[in-house]
Amino acid sequence: MPDYRIVEDIEIVKELLGMTSGEIADEIGVSRMTLNNWKNDAGRIRRINLTSFYSMAFRKGIRLNKIKEQLYREDYSDEFHKILFHGAKTSLEGRPDIGRSRKNNDFGQGFYCGESLEQSAMFVSNFPESSLYVIRFDKRGLKSKKFTVDREWMLSIAYFRGRLKAFEGAAALTELIAGMNGLDYVTAPIADNRMFEIIDSFIAGEITDIQCGHCLSATNLGNQYVFLTEKALDQVHILEHCYLAPEEKEYYLRSGKEFMDVNLDKVKIARRQYRGQGQYIEDILK
């Protein structure tokens, strides 16, 4: 069983809800003896029991993962550290590994983390055994690059996702690729599939770079950190593995859908308002 801190979490929930061990046991359908035995052998707790406990806590209004996020941010609030989140479809096996990621991600192979707990959890909430990791990152001594929603970021995403093969050898593209050499990590806006559809419209010559930029700004999902080298991974430390109860996942998916529905209306307006402004892809990479 993955290394969730359920014994500590039970004590937190007992205190916040003013419940006894017996009441917690009754709520999740186990005996008090079983609950007490978990303190000595938490690794053998069945997933159904994990789900019962964390679902119960969430239904009763206890947002354990949000509480932990706030506490970790307070613990590491100095200029050298950053608290990040990694959503996993199941669980990480061993330390983070760049080689396990797909090559056609936003910035190629790397270990991807988000600044937002909600966004990181939302991206994996459709998977039945998904979970969330709290990450502490030490930024010192590393070479990095920060992207914003601009032409360089759009072209970088399109390049690493394999959409610029028709423009290989273009001077602007060659310069962009050279600028990535030697980087340990990058910070950049998150691009989900809906955002990539907008970038694809730019690559197809349907909209200009200015139109694309304003459309993408309207769908802002926050920033991601992409760790590209082993040197960077050596400064990535997992603080905690957090359980995502089904009710919590549904909450993130519902919130994400509402967020995107509103922002897609903004995209339509931005596409019309900035029509004809800026350059098309053929002019940029000719």
Alpha-carbon distance values, 141 to 95, 110, 115, 178, 187 (Å): 21, 19, 20, 21, 15
- Residue 159 and residue 142: Cα distance in Å, rounded? 24
Over its length of 286 residues, how does the chain's per-residue pLDDT go in tens digits? Answer: 458 999 999 999 999 999 999 999 999 999 888 888 888 877 778 889 999 999 999 999 999 999 999 999 999 988 899 999 999 999 888 888 888 888 888 899 999 999 999 999 999 999 999 999 999 999 999 999 999 988 899 899 889 988 898 888 888 888 888 989 999 999 999 877 778 888 888 888 888 988 888 888 766 778 999 999 999 999 999 999 999 999 999 999 988 777 666 667 777 888 888 888 888 898 888 7
Continuous H helices in the chain = 6-17, 21-28, 32-37, 47-59, 64-75, 117-122, 151-160, 171-178, 193-203, 209-217, 230-233, 246-273, 281-284
> Which two structure tokens, joined as six digits, stand for 233?
């991974």
> Which two structure tokens, joined as six digits, stand for 178?
């050279």
SS3 at position 11: helix
Q: Could you tell me the pTM of the whole model?
A: 0.90
Residue linked to tokens 């549904």: 250
Domains defined for the chain, CATH in brackets: 1-62 (1.10.260.40), 98-122+141-231+244-284 (no CATH)
Cα 97 → chain centroid: 16
